[in-house]
Amino acid sequence: DEEFDELCFEFGLELDEITSEKDIISKEKGEEKAKGASDVVLYKIDVPANRYDLLCLEGLVRGLQVFKERINLPRFEKIIPAEGEGQRLIITEQTAQIRPHAVAAVLRNITFTKDRYDSFIDLQEKLHQNICRKRALVAIGTHDLDTITGPFTFTAKAPSEIKFKPLSQSQEYTASQIMDLYRTDSHLRHYLHLIENKPRYPVIYDSNGVVLSMPPIINGDHTKIRLNTRNVFIECTGTDITKAKIVLDIIVTMFSEYCEKPFTVEAVEVVYPNGKTHIYPELAYRTEKVKPEYINKKVGISETPSSLAKLLTRMCLKSHVTGNGNHIEIEIPPTRADIIHACDIVEDAAIAYGYNNIQMVIPKTYTIANQLPLNKFTELLRVDLAAAGFTEALTFALCSQEDIADKLRTDISATKAVRIANPKTAEFQVARTTLLPGLLKTIAANRKMPLPLKLFEISDIVVKDPSTDVGARNYRHLCAIYYNKSPGFEIIHGLLDRVMQVLEVPPNEENGYTIKAAEGTAFFPGRCAEVFAKGQSIGKLGVIHPDVITKFELTMPCSVLEINIEPFV
């Protein structure tokens, strides 16, 4: 297990966990349900989303064998049948409105076993979920070729005109009935929306009118693949031709190893509505050239061109050095649709070299990180407020509209609050414009604690500001609250004086701070003062209005201070 874990890591994968069906069921549903489940060891391997060629056992084993240099990368071959003998798939113009593209291929004289068959179905399912975007872009159909006769027609018809026996059902249904039948199916109901509101449904027929499939919902039962199936017809229909080609290439490259002539695929001719034809699968090999020094520089290593070529060959990218060692020529196989840019090749070279083997170096740019002045200032203030006997609280940056408006006796339009477009809960509708509701809610949750409660928080509030590029601005506020049987205004006033003392701001008008009587909707009339410093109003302090206290489900009076600390940075 440890060796395999190490091998996966070297290959750029992660062995997520070693488990069994029994373990999985008992974790999810409890011990009782897991009785009788299999104890066979299962490896859960995390595969990067771009490596479609590693999504099944065949591809993963082949990739690891090449990586370990036990086998050479197989060469995939497309066999084009003699004139008039090959299969044809004719696309009609009716498909243009709903699912315009189709590609196809044939796997001849294939030998299935139970495990191979399961892997074959499993790969299709993984591709459907991943590159096919839950069948929206591509849907895969695989059929027993010996039960049908070509040429095949891909068309679109009204739901009432389509009638066939769907996979694993006992009778025929029309397309509309099939939609109703699968509306409750846990697996297939997620795909119904792709076509159900369309006037025509896509469907594939053989020359005798037998339905192969109704993509992207279900195949017909007539062409079902069994363990004794020898010839497989694969069709991929979709709205994205590039993805359809990739999906077809992946399926045929993964399972052609079980054909009588391994790694060969029989081509199918696809006829378009305009009469043009194209042979699929493309199975295209292409070559790219990369300079060795480019790879060395990007990864931070100094390997010779020949050893870089060897590293890339181990990653299923057959490479050799050309032009006096100035270039590495890399052949990209059809299994590697993820190689789009030179950097993808560099990444594979780095994986084969081993991330752990790359030397760590200090970056050439000489920069020393520093704390943001505002954050450093906040840290220092927190220590002094704690020393003054106040306890720090950390509350959510999002709150409900009531918290910052109705409960504080003000109107939501006056708050300049930033709203969340699609809030998940009523508690998280807007970004807070004041820290006060968070502290009042904290006190409400801690009413059982012995009095007095002295809390503070230094955090950001958010208000709309059309002058900024994002339309909103953050301000760092300090809010402190004193909750007791008496309001304790003098305690909060004393805290303000202490804060100004540690900031070395004198209590005068010229260059210090002053407080002036004011009114605030959340404060008791005549018990509110505005704080001025640095020539501007920085906040308020005072005794909270009784209505506000009751709205937050509190019973005692409290006084509060809230100021913007940014002018002091």
470 and 513 co-located in one domain:
yes
167 and 293 co-located in one domain:
no
341 and 441 co-located in one domain:
no
pLDDT tens sequence across 337-390: 999 999 999 999 999 999 889 998 887 787 778 889 999 999 999 999 999 999
With H, G, I as helix, E, B as strand and everything else as coil, classify residue 161.
helix
Q: What is the percent of the chain where pLDDT is above 90? A: 70
Q: How far apart are the first and last CA of the chain?
A: 56
Residue 528, pLDDT score: 93
**In whole angstroms, what is the distance from residue 438 CA to residue 259 CA?**
67
Q: Please report the DSSP string for 15-71 in residue order.
A: EEEEEEHHHHHHHHH-HHHHTT----EEEEEE--TT-GGGSSHHHHHHHHHHHTTSS
Residue 246 lies in a domain: yes
Length of the chain as a residue count: 569
Report the mean per-residue pLDDT for the chain.
Answer: 91
Q: The tokens of 21 are what?
A: 């069906």
10 Å Cβ neighbour count for 518? Answer: 14
92 and 112 co-located in one domain:
yes
Residue 4 parent element (H or E):
helix 2-10
pLDDT at 33 over 80: no
562 and 448 co-located in one domain:
yes
Q: Which H, E and C letters describe 324-368, residue by residue?
A: CCCEEEEEECCCCCCCCCHHHHHHHHHHHHCHHHCCCCCCCCCCC
Residue 56 lies in a domain: no
Contact, 349 vs 295, CB < 8 A?
yes
Residue 23, pLDDT score: 81
41 and 83 co-located in one domain:
no
What is the number of domains present in the chain?
4
Record the pTM.
0.68
pLDDT tens sequence across 491-549: 999 999 999 999 999 988 888 899 999 998 999 999 999 999 988 999 999 999 999 99
239 and 298 co-located in one domain:
no
Domain limits at 27? Answer: 1-46
145 and 171 co-located in one domain:
yes
Domain containing 346 — which CATH number? 3.30.56.10
Domain containing 416 — which CATH number? 3.30.930.10
